[in-house]
Chain A
């Protein structure tokens, strides 16, 4: 009962509800680093409510793909939210799928987003879409290899089982540490943060994600913005709850979930802070240097799996 009804709702609420806050937190922290006061922590919520209430302007050139994309992106992320252990190592939709499904559901959202960027016939969309595909293609092998490492160590690709297995480890083994490092780079690339993509830019030649969503407005834009906030939070959740599952409740008791929530907020806060620090202290890398960065991540992942095989 709890597993089938309350836990899914709880997870959706946490992911959907907290994700704009993570964005607000990162923005605020970065503003502080730049000695600005910055927008309020809740600014992303204000933006979303404003957008949701507005009407939309849609390009004449665009087809039904353009109007379907926000829903496809948003819903694919919502399904992922059910597959990821957030508060408890028990996952609501455990039987539905594993981390491979998660990766390919991200691909579903991306597929439609890039199609819609081509749909309006503007060159900016194409620039963004083509770069997005290039970067995500480069990120994919490193991501899959680090997932392989974790899966082989824990004996499962199911995120809930991975978390349960990791709970029994006290310290990160060298293989896991390398995989973690690889995954951090991949997550930065996937979430479109500096040094791979600058989420604040609106300069034509540097846009990636922003370029793709340039033509969206109103509720369409709100859904896509929200989905991208959720994507960041979900990626961070996967990171913290598989590699550092401290405090994750293994059962489904009420106090356990509360403690778990506190730990979760602290861990996510820490990684959000880390992203803010990285974004404040690095410049965006030139587009064709990004393969080098992701290549580094791939090498780390290869080392991770070799280390695991040699050590064990």
Chain B
């Protein structure tokens, strides 16, 4: 039954793609059909994921079109199911959101390819997390890259978008190279001579330590590029803003999570007995990504780039949890390992939800103002009256403000970090505590970043014509965002439900079920979350909050029943308020630019032009920018070096077919000889 659903969903996605291509005259119709088919297919996938999670039955199936090596086999176990759940929920909402968003392109550009690629993109992500064969995995992984590349360069007239697409494609290929080499190394130690994941599951036992370490680093770099960890994040802040709003929602919300899926598969299944220092490395990389990601997000003025950098930060938080889980596992503290894994997977789901919400709202802003620069916005809360509270919910959730969902996963991460005190090694113990401080600093910076993002774009007076005349977006766009906002609240208020869901995956991975240990009952007799350190019940905190609200409002009315509010203009020292009096994003983040000046290396340039006598200023130009140190000191020298090397070896590219045939022959000869020995 469930197998059939899966096949139907694949067919629906494929049909959706084709429908989008079929209609040339009525492009929008084709688009709508394809998006609706994608939404239906996503619903099917949600059903599949829930059925796998709650029936504890993995589904596996092989397609018949296999020959000797490539067996098209797929497996949906509970880990896959968690990721299918995240992908499908976001896909569903992105599909119905696109029904409104694609109106932006009516009569402006050919939307056939948007629908075609969008469907294939959603499908490829589902296939990536279900593939049960390394070759199939690589095929669908590359499909995902390629299709998302086409989506990134959808608005190809803009040279920036083309550059973003190029960087994305280039880095994705490096990523694919690393992952495939990792697979091949493992393949050479697995004596079954198949690329099946089932045989890779025991690869860790038979591989020598040195090879395992090599595979560890290959996987770290390979999936790290896709996940966008520092300093491999280069493509992320370029590609996500370049893609159309509905696509960046999916890319940032879930596509980068497929890399997290890869990490978990490799580190918890394939390379299984892993030394503690692997976990420590993941932990440190996670902490660095978290802090650096948000520090760069803080400086951004482009709302989508800001959100992209914030994705780097959230990947960092997830990796902290996963690294911690690896550390606990290598010290054989399985229950704690499971706790950290639950925290990480919880954050995967949370980030999928609130990041799609925020990207969707950014799409709404773009839809109605045609700008992504928050300096040009302002005052939108009075114009986009429904989008504003939705964005606020997303901003609160991502800043881990209770009682929304971000807080619950952050709380679990803190609890796991506190349990770092059970690790025997003192250095690792201190490290986990310092990681706790890093997460706290990150949390505070995220709050700053999203106060800025919301405050500057929605509050005060509009700073441009676009913002002045902004109109609320089509109903379907904010309704779909409303669903996500509702999910943010639900996942924050009922953490036990989510925890139980992700617990299936961590139980299967680590063999310890902590469901009983981390739940208890509160005074409302509802299940709440607890760990060995503490317990928490966001529902009861909310109930208290509502009670206090009623009391406070009541008391206020009693004290002064005839309370009146007089509206008057803001005091601006005697002149009437103007938009330029309000704080800007650059000004808001100025203290951070000074405090972290070692990292940002801000450059300030003030050019003053005078009129003929030197007393009258004609114009002042003010340029303030930060130095992108990774681009400048790491990628720029690297690309120069690669270019010079390629220059040196270009003589072998003669352009003559005969020469190339000789090369092929020599390669063949060498590889045959290599195999012979």
Contacts and interface: CB of A to CB of B under 8 A. Distances in A.
Contacts of B199: none
Interface string A105-129: 1011011001100111111011101
A133 B429 CA distance: 30
Given A134-B595, A140-B443, A309-B430, A129 B583 contact: yes
B154 to A, nearest CB: 34
A52 interface: yes
A111 to B, nearest CB: 6
Given A96-B544, A98-B534, A309-B429, A53 B382 contact: no
Contact of B444 (A78, A107, A115, A156): A107
Say what secondary structure dominates the interface of chain B: helix
A107 B434 contact: no
Contacts of B581: 121-123
Chain B interface size, as a band, is 35 or more
A137 B448 contact: yes
A167 to B, nearest CB: 18
A151 B588 CA distance: 35
A158 interface: yes
Contact of B540 (A56, A65, A93, A301): A93
Contact of A133 (B379, B417, B451): B451
B107 interface: no
B594 interface: yes
A96 B459 CA distance: 33
Given A145-B436, A151-B533, A302-B434, A53 B560 contact: yes
A141 interface: yes
From A54, A98, A131, name the one whose CB has the most chain B CB atoms within 10 angstroms.
A98
A63 to B, nearest CB: 4
A4 B544 CA distance: 12
Contacts of B533: 98, 151, 155-158
Interface stretch (B44-52, B169-177, B562-570): B562-570
A94 to B, nearest CB: 8
B440 A75 contact: no
Interface stretch (B26-34, B326-334, B549-557): B549-557
B433 A130 contact: no
Interface stretch (B2-10, B354-362, B398-406): B398-406
Interface string B521-564: 01100001000111111101100110011001100100110011
A287 interface: yes
A130 B441 CA distance: 16
Contacts of B587: 126, 130
A6 interface: no
A95 B93 CA distance: 35
B528 to A, nearest CB: 7
A148 B535 CA distance: 16
A140 B544 contact: no
A63 B444 contact: no
Given A56-B566, A95-B537, A134-B595, A79 B418 contact: no
Contacts of B637: none
A252 interface: no
B451 A111 contact: yes
Contact of B455 (A114, A148, A223, A302): A114
A122 B570 CA distance: 7
B591 A105 contact: no
B517 interface: no
A130 B455 CA distance: 11
Contacts of B122: none
A34 interface: no
B436 A110 contact: no
A71 B426 CA distance: 45
B537 to A, nearest CB: 5
B549 A71 contact: yes
Contact of A305 (B411, B433, B461, B537): B433
A118 B437 contact: no
Contacts of B421: 152, 309
Contact of B523 (A95, A111, A309): A95
A100 B448 CA distance: 18
Nearest to B520: A95
B583 A125 contact: yes
A30 B614 CA distance: 51
A140 B476 CA distance: 40
A118 B566 contact: no
A60 B568 contact: yes
A134 B592 contact: yes
Interface of A: 4, 52-65, 67, 71, 74-76, 78-79, 82, 93, 95-98, 100-101, 103-105, 107-108, 110-111, 114-115, 118-123, 125-127, 129-131, 133-134, 136-145, 148-149, 151-152, 155-158, 161, 214-215, 218-219, 223, 287-288, 291, 298, 301-302, 305-306, 309-310
5 contacts: A55-B564, A65-B459, A115-B455, A130-B589, A137-B445
Given A62-B570, A96-B536, A121-B460, 15 more contacts: A57-B567, A58-B565, A63-B381, A93-B540, A95-B520, A97-B534, A98-B533, A101-B402, A130-B589, A134-B591, A137-B448, A139-B444, A145-B437, A151-B533, A288-B591
